[in-house]
A and B are shown apart, each in its own frame.
Chain A
Amino acid sequence: MDKNVPQGVKLGSKDKHKEAAVDLVRSAMKSGVIDSALLPMEVPSGDSYAWMLIKDEAFLAKAEPFAPTMPVNAANAVKRLTRKGTGKYKTAVLIRPCEVRAAVELVKLNQAHLDDLLLITYDCVGAVPTDDYIKDPAGKNKAFKTALVSGNFNSGIMKEVCSFCTDFSRTSSDLHLSLTDDGIFLSSNNVKGDDFLKNMKLEAKADLSKWYEKIESISSVRKNKKVQIFEKIKKDVDGLINFHKIFENCIGCHSCGSVCPICYCRQCFFDSTVNEQNSDLKFIRARQKGVLSFPPDKLMFHIGRLSHMSLSCVSCGLCSDACPVDIPVASVFSYVADQTQSAFDYKSGNSVGDALPMRDYKLEELGELGELSKSVDRQEGADA
């Protein structure tokens, strides 16, 4: 058997996914294995969800662990909870794979700490765009549940980035919920997960190889799809002129940055006064180009954001959700992130142990020495 195939413990039947998850959290809280849970809960108006740190078990019933939409990336909630370091309470978080990956990136950036958290992921069928959800909460809720229960990963109602997401299942979390035709199975991903199972006296013995095969096959189909989609995006965005075209409707609200889990700055550089100068200088720029758009630095904002966060981008798609003028920010950023990450042989969110490319040095990058050896290699190559 493939050593990557986990063994699980059955928590309940497939259509009772919500109950199974809530029961797990409840019994863990009861037995003192965890102290609280961070879960989405429907807002009173009924058209969105918010992350709630639940301490009183009574509120667990109101939680919706499998929220159809994702107005806030859980990593942002995790960041706010743990940025200042570890404490004494343990919290379980039911979280989408892309959210865990963002949290892992934030750990590397010293913006989150996972020691107090128990991260539980599940097979994610995608998230409904917030706009769509607000327009038809009941309809979308139903459609989402159907997709989740039937294991339909191509429902067509999810965000565009979800449609080519290849990290939609078991990832860098502590525990994972496999939603199989035979029911819901909990499996461990690491020592922390093992400890949880032990403390909860749960034995993961069920064979999950069938589920694993299905996930693998969806993943490989998605990989191909991703290549095709990126080919298309490439045509649309490559080059400064095209890039400009994509973002020409941008109103400079910077919402994409505000919702981005990786954009962790307290205040965006582009919202600061650092590059505000004397109006004369704007005239100089206007004179060079004949015309100058205002407010300035519209495109620079996006390029700046890409240069800062693309190596850690997890393609959660919140930026597109947040854009009031429907720019396909997420697809473009996902495409660029794919390029930059592969350039450094890096994958965001895989493990807290992976060094951030900009903080890690390789011998050949080390200045003149590196250059020297390269120039010789080139020469050798030319000779050959």
Chain B
Amino acid sequence: MGLKSRAVMVAGAGIAGIQAALDLAEMGIKVHLVEESPSIGGRMPQLDKTFPTNDCSMCILSPKMSESVRHPNIKIYTTTTIDSVSGIPGDFTAKIVERAKYIDQEKCVSCGLCEEKCPVKVDDIFDMKLRKRGAVSRYFLQSIPSEYTIDPHNCLYLNKGVCRLCEKVCPAGAINFDDKDKIFEINVGAIILSGGIDSYDPIHLGNFGYRRYKNVVTSLEFERMLSASGPLGGHVVRPGDHKEPKSLAFIQCVGSRDENINHNYCSSACCMFAIKEAMIAKEHIKDLESTVFYMDIRAFGKDFDKYYEKSKDKYGVEYIKSKVSDISEDDDGNLILKYVYENGDISHKQFDMAVLAVGLQPRKSIVNLSKSLNFKLNEFGFCRSDTNLPLATTREGIFVCGAMNGPKDIPESVTAASGAAAETLKFLRLERQDISAEKDAVQEKDVAGDRPRIGAFVCHCGINIAGVVDVKDVAEHARHLPNVEYAEDLIYACSQDCMNTIKERIKEYDLNRIVVAACTPRTHEPLFRETITEAGLNPYLFEMANIRDQCSWAHMNEPWLATVKSKDLMSMGVAKARELKPLKRLPIEINPKAMVIGGGLAGMTTAISLAEAGHEVYLIEKENELGGNLRNIFFDFDSDPQVLLADTISKAESNELIHIYKNAIIKKIDGFVGNFSTTVTGNNKNEEISFDHGVVIIATGADEHVTEEYLYGRSDRIVSQVELEDILKTRKFPGTRKPKNVVMIQCVGSREEGKMYCSRVCCTKAVKNAGVLKNILPNVNIYIIYRDIRTYGFREKHYSELRDKGAMFIHYTPENKPIVELVNEKDTDSQVKVTVFDPIVNKNIEIQADMLVLATAIDAKKENIDLVKMLKVSLNTDGMFLEAHVKLRPVDFATDGIFVAGLAHCPKDCDESITQAKAAASRALTFLNKKAILAEGTICEVNDSRCTGCGYCVHICAYNAIELDPEKGTARVNDALCKGCGACVASCRCGALDLRGFTNGQMFGVFDSLEMTNVIDE
């Protein structure tokens, strides 16, 4: 191993790369985030909404994008590719090439004049060619970095030596045609690959008429059509005639589950993608008919089945289990779908538009990358990784996350990203960060008691604001507002020049509050805060008026009104600034130890990861041995689960930093992030052990559902899939002769009223166990009675292999469940009769089974509720732990310092549990690796003399940050937990709560200064 560098390269800045970078950066690791396209963000910015919450994709992503660009430990390289990686783990040297951008990124102010004047119009890749852009352009509206770049393949000057129009119009002088590719050599200890995937191009499948028929689009194109910021502004029309479609067909598995094109895998996300689009489209178009043509609906993720059911019950999306064989077009551009049912019947139906659920496939560039970086690909061309090491590539020190090593949805990608971040740590030098040591801090000026002396600055943003708003008039208006000592308009307030101007004015006019009217605080407030800090002002003495987003953009056709509104916003900004007070961010110390609850695969894996990163861990297991559910699993496709179990236990038990408590019961957990204190009883029930720790990881697992259906428990011949594993291991089959007919029934206790979720692993388990059985008894007949076969990802291969081996698959619906009878109930050796309706032959069939195997559900543990009470976290309606955000915070809780991994979160396979366990370790380390964290400055405070202790705020607070002081009878805010959302302030009728930086007084000042609105108040 090398020198142990303190840096990591993350290659690919989609959501996975961003998450990995943020986690590492928060642990104090320097991250080089390398991205091939001109902006970070990856696929998510192209999506309209995300399942299963229908959150706006961009809205949930952009805070993470902003955070990564602002983070001092993250350096972003866009339009950059990796050339080579040399060296050894812990001491790699990566050679990366940044393509010439031809625009000086320091000078560019993103005003957009260049693109407006660019004579070249090319297809916009981001908008799936549904819109044109210039040869000079910004990748998408919310791009980060936001600067423009020139596309050398299409630029007239770079190709034909003429034009240079952009150079003439650029007000910032940023165009630089002499720009050259830049080569960087960076030293890193480990590398994370997060290069993402491409979607399958259906042009290769002639039968669907893609590109031949205009009204056939891909799911990603349709996503852009739905998007409010997309080329159609969210008004879905047929590309052929721009008419609103009245019927939509969604065709699944286009380029997935298709052996003919070497795509014998399931793309995992397209079913949910289609369900979402079918629903959202119905919200866009009244009376729209959405029909999904599918083979199996694979809604296997957390809360996905509820979403699927909702699409049927509430939205009326129609689902037809069939295979579309052909699409033809009539004279009006309508599409006629020809499709084949399970039983071979052929049908036709006409639709206005068809959406092809294109599968996911590896990027073309992965082949070269694998060669230059020397890692191997799997049989489908994805990056190869192992079941037990799901985040490692074949080259030591290089890890993989996101969909690069197999199709994944967003939360899986995010989880894998955090997990990969944890994996890199063994090649890095990790030190706990000391946040109090501020570097070169400028002495802060004490403004207490001083009269407000406000400086107001109005930004032109080139023509972005000044093209609509009369900025000089706004500055003049500001000059006459009370307490404004100085007002000025600036061409680009965020440029280095203008920032220096602001600093000089602060000195010159002894300003102690600053207002900038410009683009948006979302992106620029941190920058200006930093600027005034450098001039000796507390960063909270800054206020921003949002006159670009809210005035020049929103009212571009009414410049006069835009100016009036800008003045109002300026008045409000000044009114707020007048009342601003300096705020401090107080440090909260973090205890470096962790507690992991649950000693199964997930809990042990998290504990090992944390211990390997140098942290003490208390591992609490309520049974008398480690291992959890993994103890009962004996087979996997290409690895031995018991070897994994033994390895993991030995690693956990041999690590001195891991304190294992078996037979342990948690009595009490007190405290909050960084400062938890727990009491458990160990082997000796009378003895109580207490310890302090900084974080909690919940890995309590789940239970196997005990069914009462299908005569379970009435015969030795009726067993669960877990019990079957034991039989397969011991080869002790029930009865006296070897079984000839084995029936498996899927979804026993899953996907039903009251338990509307998929247990995710059972289909794969059935396929796996059936395969093992076939190996032991090659002549056995296997019948799998299923609702949807959900062998997602590469598991699909095993499904098709099993079919090739002759296993029979019979589809059933919950309305028509198979009927199980014992031929002779008294004789345990007699056979089991299973009667089921077979849609292929269209009648009931009877199977005399020697064994009936039930795929029983995964149930949430009833005891979860105890932890819920102690930790004040939440469960979902199925009793599984509810994460902070199902998409982007899949292992966190809303309450800081508490994380979840494994089956306690939702049903999942071993590799997924390992991934999530490592992710939980990574998230925990973002806290543990700091000596202290800083509480927000803008948090709530209680005025004791006004507080009546009514407890409204305690109920309202989503972060459990408020409690009633039993002595004083008043509310008390925990600075560490408060997120400054202000909900408690709104709930407090006594006015005892106030949000620092947004106090009632400040807000009243703001409202009262609103000049142009006719408020009748007296």
| Interface check B450, CB cutoff 8 A | no
Chain A CB within 8 A of B63 CB: no
Digitize A267-303: 1 where CB-to-B-CB distance is under 8 Å, 0 elsewhere. 1010011110110110011011100110011111000
- Measured between C-beta atoms, what is the minimum distance from B341 to chain A in Å? 29
**B1015 contacts chain A at the CB level, 8 A cutoff:** yes
Among B283, B989, B1009, B1016: residue with most chain A CB under 10 A: B989
The one of A111, A287, A358, A376 that contacts B948, using a Cβ cutoff of 8 Å? A111
What are the 3 closest A-B residue pairs judged by CB atoms, nearest first? A265-B990, A269-B991, A275-B1004
**Bound CA span A84–B1011, Å:** 46
Contact A110 B951, CB 8 Å, known A274-B1004, A284-B1009: yes
Q: A289-B1016, A382-B286 are in contact. List 5 more A-B contacts (CB 8 A).
A: A265-B990, A269-B989, A278-B578, A296-B1018, A358-B987
Knowing A266-B946, A275-B1000, A358-B952, the reply to whether A284 touches B1008 (Cβ < 8 A) is: yes
Contact with B along A109-125 (1 / 0, CB 8 A): 11100000000000000
Please give, as numbers and ranges, the residues of chain B lying within 8 Å of A153 by CB-CB distance: none
Is B949 an interface position by the 8 A CB rule? yes
Q: Are the CB atoms of A265 and B969 closer together than 8 Å?
A: no
In the assembled complex, A31 has its CB within 8 A of some CB on chain B: no
Query: How far apart are B971's CB and chain A's nearest CB, in angstroms?
Result: 10
Interface secondary structure of B, over-half rule = loop
Tell me the complex Cα distance, A338–B896, Å.
42
Pair A379/B286 contact, Cβ less than 8 Å? yes
* Chain B interface, number of residues (Cβ within 8 angstroms): 43
| Interchain Cβ contacts under 8 Å between A and B, 6 examples | A84-B969, A265-B989, A266-B946, A284-B1008, A358-B987, A368-B55
Please indicate the chain B residues that have their CB under 8 angstroms from the CB of A244 in the complex: 1018
Q: Are A293 and B950 in contact (CB under 8 A)?
A: no
Whether A210 sits at the interface, judged by CB under 8 Å, is: no
A272 and B1014 contact, CB distance less than 8 A: no
Give the CA-CA distance A110 to B971 in the complex, in Å.
Answer: 12
> By CB atoms of chain B within 10 A, which of A84, A275, A293, A375 has the most?
A275
Does B364 belong to the interface (CB within 8 Å)? no
Asked if residues A288 and B1011 are in contact (CB atoms below 8 Å), the reply is yes
The answer for the CA separation of A376 and B1004 in the assembled complex, in Å, is: 38
Would you give the shortest CB distance from A369 to chain B, in whole angstroms? Answer: 8
Closest chain-A Cβ to B846's Cβ sits at a distance in Å of 43
Indicate if B1001 sits at the interface (CB-CB under 8 A): yes
A264 touching B578 by the CB < 8 A rule? Answer: no
CB distance from A243 to the nearest CB of B (A): 11
Measured in the bound complex, the distance between the Cα atoms of B949 and A244 in whole Å is 33
Residues from chain A with a CB closer than 8 A to the CB of B314 are 373, 376
Check if A240 is an interface residue, CB within 8 A of chain B. Answer: yes
Interface string of B946-973 (1 = CB under 8 A from A): 1111111001100000001000010000
Q: Are B945 and A266 within 8 A (Cβ)?
A: yes
Cα distance A298–B987 in the bound complex, in angstroms: 22
Q: Give residues of chain B (967-1018) contacting chain A, Cβ–Cβ below 8 Å.
A: 969, 987, 989-991, 999-1001, 1004-1005, 1008-1009, 1011, 1013-1018
Question: What CA separation (Å) do A373 and B314 show in the bound complex?
Answer: 7
Q: Using CB atoms, name the residue of chain B closest to A270.
A: B991
The residue of chain B having its C-beta at the shortest distance from the C-beta of A307 within the complex is B989
Residue of B955, B990, B1001, B1009 touching A359 (CB-CB under 8 A):
B955
Residues A120-147 near B (CB distance < 8 A): none
Pick from B315, B999, B1008, B1017: contact of A299, CB below 8 A: B1017
Q: Mark B916-954, 1 if CB is under 8 A from A, else 0.
A: 000000000000000000000000000001111111100
A110 x B950 contact (CB < 8 A): yes
Is there a chain A Cβ closer than 8 Å to B482's Cβ? yes
* CA A383 to CA B1009, docked complex, whole Å: 46
| Measured CA separation A57–B292 after assembly (Å) | 82
CB interface residues, A 79-124, toward B, < 8 Å: 83-84, 109-111
Check B989 against A308 for contact (C-beta < 8 Å).
yes
Chain A residues contacting B176 (CB-CB under 8 Å) are none
Indicate whether A372 reaches chain B with its CB closer than 8 angstroms. Answer: yes
Q: Is B332 part of the contact surface with A, judged by Cβ < 8 Å?
A: no
Chain B, residue nearest A279 (CB): B482
Q: When the two chains form the complex, which single residue of A110, A264, A284, A293 contacts B1018, counting CB atoms closer than 8 Å?
A: A293
Q: Give the CA-CA distance A234 to B796 in the complex, in Å.
A: 68
- Whether B286 contacts A274 by the Cβ 8 Å rule is no
A84–B427 Cα distance when bound, in Å, is: 58
Q: How far is it, in angstroms, between the C-alpha of A275 and the C-alpha of B1013 when the chains are bound?
A: 19
Interfacial chain B residues near A272, Cβ < 8 Å: 946, 991
Find chain A residues with CB under 8 A from B952 CB: 109, 358-359
A278, B1017: Cα distance in complex, Å = 18
Most interface-central of B283, B1004, B1017 (chain A CB within 10 A): B1017
Residues of A within 8 A of B955 (CB): 359
Q: Is the CB of B575 within 8 A of A265?
A: no
Q: Is B753 an interface residue (CB 8 A)?
A: no
B779 is an interface residue with CB less than 8 A from chain A: no
Q: Dominant SS at the A interface?
A: helix
Chain B min CB distance to A317 (Å): 22
Which residues of A are found within 8 Å of B53, using beta-carbon distances?
A: 368-369
Instruction: Chain B residues near A281: list those with CB within 8 A.
Output: 482, 575, 1005, 1008-1009
Complex CA gap A18/B317 in Å reads 72
Interface residues on A, range: 35 or more
Q: Which residues of B sit under 8 angstroms from A265, Cβ to Cβ? A: 946, 948, 989-991
Chain A residues 336 to 384 lying within 8 A of chain B, measured CB to CB, are 358-359, 368-369, 372-373, 375-376, 379, 382-383
Chain A stretch 177-193: residues in CB contact (< 8 A) with chain B: none
Residues of A within 8 A of B969 (CB): 83-84
Q: Inside 8 A of A358's CB, which chain B residues have their CB? A: 952, 987
Residues A288 and B1015 in contact, CB atoms below 8 Å apart: yes
* B287 proximal to A (CB < 8 A): yes
Asked if B54 CB lies within 8 Å of chain A CBs, one says: yes
* Inter-chain contact B990/A292, CB cutoff 8 Å: no
Q: Are A277 and B1004 in contact (CB under 8 A)?
A: yes
Verify B987–A267 contact, CB threshold 8 A: no
CA distance A382 to B286 in the complex (A): 10
Known: A83-B969, A372-B54, A379-B286. A266 touches B575 (CB 8 A): no
Chain B positions within 8 Å of A297 at CB level: 1017-1018
Let me know if B286 and A284 touch, CB within 8 A.
Answer: no
- Closest residue of A by beta carbon distance from B1008: A281
Residues of A within 8 A of B1000 (CB): 274-275
Q: How far is A240 from B990 in the complex, measured between Cα atoms in Å?
A: 25
Q: How far is the CA of A280 from the CA of B484 in the complex (A)?
A: 13
**Residues in chain A near residue B948, CB distance under 8 A:** 109-111, 264-266
Query: Smallest CB–CB gap between B770 and chain A, Å?
Result: 39
State whether A269 touches B1004 (Cβ < 8 A): no
> Quick one: given A275-B1004, A284-B1008, A284-B1009, are A267 and B949 in contact (CB under 8 Å)?
no
In the complex, the chain B residue whose C-beta lies closest to that of A376 is B314
* Minimal beta-carbon separation of A302 from chain B (angstroms): 11
Give, as a whole number of angstroms, the nearest-CB distance from A211 to chain B: 38
What separation, in Å, do the CA atoms of A280 and B1005 have in the docked complex? 11
Which residues in B have their C-beta under 8 angstroms from that of A111? 948-950
Q: Is the CB of A298 within 8 A of B950?
A: no
Name the CB-closest residue of A to B1004: A275
Chain A nearest CB from B948 CB (Å) reads 5
Contact with A along B62-86 (1 / 0, CB 8 A): 0000000000000000000000000
Residues from chain B with a CB closer than 8 A to the CB of A296 are 1017-1018
Complexed CA–CA distance, A296 and B575 (Å):
19
Tell me whether B1001 and A274 are in contact (CB under 8 A): yes
Question: Which of B55, B571, B990 has a CB less than 8 Å from the CB of A269?
Answer: B990
Assuming the contacts A265-B990, A358-B952, asked whether A299 and B1018 have C-beta atoms less than 8 A apart, the reply is yes
Tell me the bound Cα distance from A301 to B956 in angstroms. Answer: 24
A281 to B55, CA, bound (A): 40
Give A280 to B1008 CA distance when docked, in angstroms: 10
Cα of A299 to Cα of B1017 in the assembled complex, Å? 7
A263 CB, min distance to chain B CBs, angstroms? 9
Q: Would A264 and B1011 count as touching, CB distance under 8 A?
A: no
**In whole angstroms, how far apart are the Cα atoms of A84 and B968 in the complex?**
9
Give Cα A214 to B249, complex, Å: 68
Q: Which residue of A lies closest to B991 (CB)?
A: A269
